[in-house]
Amino acid sequence: EYDATVETTDDRQGVGISGDPETVSHVARRVADTAIDTFHWEDPAPRGALFDGVVSDTLGSGAVVDLGDDRGKGFLPFRAIDRRIDDGDHVRVQVHDPEPPWSRDRSLLGTDVQVFGGVASLSKGVNEVVASAPDDASRRELARTTEMLPTDVPDEWGVRWEYAAADATLDEMNAALSAAVERAETIDGALAEETDVDGPRTVAAPEETAWLWFGRESRFELDETRREVTTTLPGHHRIKAADSSASTAVDFAEDLYGDSEEAFDGMPTGATLRGFGPDADDEVFIDHGKPDGRCFSLGKGAVAEADPEAGKYTVRREMGSSGTYDAIGTDRERGDVAITKFREGRWWYPTAYRSADGESKGTYVNVCTPVELFPRSVRYVDLHVDVVKRPDGTVERVDDDELDAAVETGHISEELAEKARSVAASVEKVLSK
Tell me the sheet residues that pair with 376.
none
Q: Is the pLDDT of residue 164 over 90?
A: no
Convert the pLDDT of each residue in 49-106 to its tens digit.
999 999 999 999 999 999 998 899 999 999 999 999 999 999 999 999 999 999 999 9
Q: Is the pLDDT of residue 403 over 60?
A: yes
- pTM, two decimals, is 0.92
Q: Is the pLDDT of residue 381 over 80?
A: yes
Q: Cα–Cα distance between 108 and 116 in angstroms, integer?
A: 14
Domains of the chain: 45-205 (2.40.50.140), 216-267 (no CATH), 283-431 (2.40.380.10)
Of 316, 311, 314, 364, give the one whose Cα is nearest residue 341: 314
Cβ–Cβ under 8 Å, residues 349 and 371:
yes
Cβ–Cβ under 8 Å, residues 367 and 347:
yes
Q: Is the pLDDT of residue 1 over 90?
A: no
Q: Cα–Cα distance between 374 and 219 in angstroms, integer?
A: 14
Cα separations (Å) of 275 from 184, 278, 334, 361, 432? Answer: 49, 9, 35, 36, 39
* Average pLDDT, integer, range 394-421: 98
Convert the pLDDT of each residue in 325-379 to its tens digit.
999 999 999 999 999 999 999 999 999 999 999 999 999 999 999 999 999 999 9
* Average pLDDT, integer, range 221-235: 93
* Average pLDDT, integer, range 18-29: 97
Q: Is the pLDDT of residue 176 over 90?
A: yes
DSSP H/E element including 217: helix 216-227
Mean pLDDT of the chain: 93
